[in-house]
Chain A
């Protein structure tokens, strides 16, 4: 490794940056709990009269929610993928398109829509639409494990669908035709050929949904917390928010370990087992003739995708227009969007578009998204470039890859806790960053790194080395090659990746919820606060804005990355 090479210096700089962004916060999270005044919290959490309440019950709830989410989301996603890719069901294209949208929505959007429909009168306040029509909604549908799990399923089946559909589309018609020509029955072809080929995809979809189900914050906070249904995430949020910091950190560490174990085993199990890279042109699969069943399949899948996209959208939109929360009795109004302060409505809250705090939050949310999108893209691109260029130096390249991957294993809310632990107090000449915009940007960049790094790696990796070598032979130097060949060819992919980082930041709640203060309002946090305080219309209106931005930007990004739906080709 030549210290004279400029790329070595660049690599060391990237490595140092990653240490600050990723390694230091995690180290701080652990070391705070090991200090003399913190070490006792391990005993409090793990073995004390408090532990059932602090740890074991929330852990049990987290696991139940995670398992339920993983199982149901995988089944629904795989079913839908099969129907869209392999069957002759009419309307496959539009169903396939709609099925990708829920994942682009913020998870609290579907939770709020659920609440607007199913909330019952148990806690007082304003019940949901069903209750206002006089339909009694049982507790089990209003609060706790069922709505939390189903809401997360509505979000994550979409991910499972995308992963499995891509794998199925890669199976290729030739592979199936070859199996069918042996005389094997349809069932046998499905179980011996199709299932093994897509099994890794189903498994990885399951594990992603499982890990997210365990660690999601927004949904249990909205649909569980009001009835003291605690998960690890809401528990650690509660501890830190009420000043019980060390216990909160201990819970964060436990959550990190569990989520990391799940995701890491997932990566291990599915590594090298992907059969999806079948090269060459393959003919599209011959569609299975489902006869009269196709109408049943259509009814089922149409219900599923509309219930998770269009219905929540309409519910949220309509609910913001109701003068009285979740009830048509008092008629419609635009007050919650455009109205001025009126003491008779919602304690004098202004419509969201005329509320200076909301306007402020729109500004800071957008600038947070842009800063993080730009920052993470630059860091990810540099990291991907040096890793590609430093193949010989395993230590530096390996460390950069590892540190760029680690945040993927860490639930947002625990990562937020780690950033408070590291940057909450002044370090040497640097002031404490808690409550500043800077800490949000830094945490956002760190959390988005795995995605930005992967995007850049694949965008750079898609450029055949021949193209750069042909330029080398022409005499173009490094800068000229980067500027004229590499970046123009990779730009769409990298830009698309940057937009997706922007989207995840705009709709993120779990990472930022511990880091924001009233001085730095963000839309997602305002939604959460308004929803908790019962300002349903305002919460839903803000959510709707976030959802529209998210979906639009996601569609643009997919366009840019050229991700045509492989399963919808003729």
Chain B
């Protein structure tokens, strides 16, 4: 059982800061997703966990053991950290058969032939790829390659599993299937998993904990429900959810938050810029509303409709019960008070 602790972990490439000193603790057995747009530092963090990059500052601990220390330069080599990694490209060795791909790391680790054979059978069966054992990576489909990569990773029973956007090369249907399988693999190994993606749907489906990252910083870390119910920043609020929350910017004038001359809610401190957050399902559409809204598209979702459009230059999505044709000009009906309010710096101000 392995708790992973990042303490003041930072990484710079030349004079480029990839990761500002971050603090995170992943509980033992958790499935942590590092979520964020490209360039947010999530892959750098993962590669430092793997031992493929050295931190510039701070420490990484697996359990009680410090595996990397950017301040002293000490580092436990990747293979001594007891981890496995699934690469975006799968990184199957093209000149080795499926069997050899899975078996070779065990041979390197010094397993006996009998142990290797029985473990090989076990993971081949677990991932349902027994029939592929003697084929070469180029001879099997992308989805099958992915299963082989997973089998290879878990064969040595690592206590920490790392995933670098493992689903991004698969087509949509296969992605959903493989996702379920990854969750199963995680439960079966009982280890701690860290998973990098930019896809929030994937993150919400898999994670016990999500760290939303942006520009080398962690915006929020916690269980998915907490991030959805209680986003700590405007960025998290706008990044998570299908559709994501409605965020409307405005300025405080005379004790109220005002957007384009329309009063949204009460607020204090005149002159401040604020973002008001509403749940998409709480916002209605009607010509009696208070903000102009031009419908751009209307997508059916689980018996209801997600209607996207522009209000005063901002794109927002709301959920309605009936179909609204694209091109319709209507108005937004907002609840009396916003679900949350964020300051100009993006941080939550109250509630």
Contacts and interface: CB of A to CB of B under 8 A. Distances in A.
A484 interface: yes
Given A480-B108, A484-B104, A472 B91 contact: no
Contact of B89 (A466, A475, A480): A466
Contacts of A566: none
B87 A474 contact: no
B79 A467 contact: no
A473 B109 contact: no
Contacts of A466: 87-89, 91
A472 B94 contact: no
Given A466-B89, A469-B87, A488-B95, A474 B52 contact: no
Given A475-B105, A488-B95, A470 B87 contact: yes
A469 B52 contact: yes
Contact of A469 (B91, B95, B105, B108): B91
Given A467-B91, A488-B95, A473 B83 contact: yes
A489 B95 contact: yes
Given A464-B91, A488-B95, A489-B95, A470 B85 contact: yes
B110 to A, nearest CB: 9
A467 B78 CA distance: 14
Contacts of A475: 78-80, 105, 108-109
Contacts of A464: 89, 91
A474 B95 contact: no
A260 interface: no
Contact of B108 (A467, A474, A489): A474
A470 B91 contact: yes
B84 interface: yes
Contacts of A318: none
B93 interface: yes
Contacts, number: 58
Contact of B93 (A470, A472, A473, A480): A470
A28 interface: no
Interface in B52-87: 52, 77-80, 83-85, 87
A488 B108 CA distance: 17
A473 B79 CA distance: 5
B107 to A, nearest CB: 9
A101 to B, nearest CB: 30
Contacts of A484: 104
B109 A472 contact: no
B50 interface: yes
A254 B79 CA distance: 56
A472 B52 contact: yes
Q: What DSSP secondary structure best describes chain A's contact surface?
A: helix
Contact of B79 (A472, A485, A488, A489): A472
A173 to B, nearest CB: 23
A485 B93 contact: yes
A276 interface: no
Interface residues of B, number: 23
Contacts of B50: 469, 473
Contacts of A480: 108
Interface in A452-486: 464, 466-467, 469-476, 480, 484-485
Nearest to A475: B79
Nearest to A488: B95
Contacts of A474: 79, 104-105, 108-109, 156
A476 B105 CA distance: 8
B211 to A, nearest CB: 22
A121 to B, nearest CB: 62
Nearest to B156: A474
Interface in B95-143: 95, 104-105, 108-109
Contacts of B77: 472
Nearest to A485: B93
Nearest to A474: B105
A315 to B, nearest CB: 45
A470 B105 CA distance: 9
A488 B96 CA distance: 10
A471 B91 CA distance: 9
B120 to A, nearest CB: 14
A428 to B, nearest CB: 44
A544 B216 CA distance: 66
B80 to A, nearest CB: 8
Nearest to A491: B95
B55 to A, nearest CB: 17
Interface in B139-159: 152, 156
Contacts of A469: 50, 52, 78, 85, 87, 91
Pick the most buried of B52, B80, B88: most chain A CB atoms within 10 A of its CB. Answer: B52
A424 B207 CA distance: 73
A485 B85 CA distance: 17
A470 B85 CA distance: 7
Contacts of A472: 51-52, 77-79
A489 B137 CA distance: 14
Contact of A489 (B52, B78, B84, B94): B94
A476 B93 CA distance: 14
Nearest to A472: B78
14 contacts: A466-B89, A466-B91, A469-B52, A469-B78, A470-B152, A472-B51, A472-B52, A472-B77, A473-B52, A473-B85, A474-B108, A475-B108, A476-B108, A485-B93
Given A469-B87, A470-B91, A472-B77, 12 more contacts: A464-B91, A467-B93, A467-B94, A469-B78, A469-B85, A470-B152, A471-B93, A471-B105, A472-B51, A473-B83, A475-B105, A476-B105
